Amino acid sequence: MGYAILAFDGDDEAALSRRMTARDRHLDVITSWAADGRLALGVPLFTAAGRPAGSLMVLDVPDQAGLDAYLAAEPFNHEGVWQRVATYPFRIAPLPYRPLPQPGAPTASAPTHTVILALDGRDADAELRRLAVRGAHMERVRPAAEDGTLALGGAILDWPDGRMIGSIAVIARPDEASARAWMADDPYVTGGVWQEITLYPTRFAPLPYRPLPGAA
């Protein structure tokens, strides 16, 4: 198990300035964490207009202490860049992902991917709906990982019982329309599993990432 962090910048006029002031120190921290395997993926979130809105950080750490250590080290967290931080126990699905961008790879000037935050229903039948179509969902996402459409995906977990209560995925679709078109046929959509879906445009920064679970 690990953790996913969804963190959001402020909406005030100084928000972008705060981010840029802390950016180099932020990159130093996430480069170190990626190199030693504790950061599985870190990407910025953008608004539809292309303004930086926050970050998704996926940590491969065994416990709350690892999460706390990252948040203590992260300049975006303690220098006021992130104004709202949500953390989720998270398990990356082991799939044949393509390698993430490594140092030396170019950084795109515009969003290339979309982050999907999808929460299951909270009713008594929510877990049954997920389990009923989980096999079909996994059959769909496996080839998507192989061809690079799915860069990373996994389950948000309830704590402490480990029940799956949502999903986070990063897909190679640059905008909301194309992301929703790709999602439309997913069994978690057609089967009514995902009840609350939020999308964020993103792009990758090349970092010394370790292979994701299941990657070749």
pLDDT tens across 142-187, in order? 999 999 999 999 999 998 778 999 999 999 999 999 999 999 999 9
Find how far residue 126's CA is from the centre of its chain. Answer: 22
Query: What structural domains does the chain harbor?
Result: 1-92 (3.30.70.1060), 95-205 (3.30.70.1060)
Between 106 and 161, the higher pLDDT residue: 106
The per-residue pLDDT of the chain, averaged, comes to 97
pLDDT exceeds 80 at position 216: no
pLDDT exceeds 80 at position 128: yes
Residue 112 DSSP label: -
pLDDT (0 to 100) of residue 1 = 79
pLDDT (0 to 100) of residue 162 = 84
146-157 burial code (b ≥16 CB/10 A, e <16): eeebbbbbbbbb
Tokens of 195: 């009840």
Q: How far is CA 208 from CA 37, 40, 160, in A?
A: 9, 10, 32
pLDDT exceeds 90 at position 212: yes
Q: Which residues are within 8 A (CB) of 212 and not within 5 positions of it... i.e. 6 or more apart? A: 40, 41, 92, 95, 97, 100, 152
